[in-house]
A and B are shown apart, each in its own frame.
Chain A
């Protein structure tokens, strides 16, 4: 059972917009930065969004994110087949002294 709650899977067709939710609590998302990582099959996680809604250099503006109180969300617009991957949210957990992660959401592009 992950500390942050994500839907196990989402799907969409090419060109569509999908969102992935991430639900936490006062001890993690509220008051701490949220990060989003993308993990392609068989690959390492890669930073997609940092500090709630900031895109690192090289990440297209099709990816956007927001945070509100104890939850966050990632939006992907203009869906492409290569977006198929697992997406993880993460935030600092006060009781742990380190980051916690969501269980991951598998995005399928139909």
Chain B
């Protein structure tokens, strides 16, 4: 059983399109995240949700909108895609509640490689 699953694994699309990436975790974790990893391998936080509530929203363009229908799901919708959005997007989850440290770290999904042409 996949702990954190995200779809699709690969996404190639044209500039200006709107696309969504879905993420689901079956670990019973309270907190889910979206990270972006660019071509230089730098992993940067985008959003974090704790039990469906947005708790972290880094400086991300408004074109990116996360949605968490329940604590096991965190989807990412991107409007008007730009060339600079090309990256690998990782979904992750952790057990801890807001602000609490977890000694188990994050469990990451396998990533969605987005290419905007």
Report if A and B associate in a common complex.
Answer: no
Chain B residues near A (Cβ < 8 Å): none
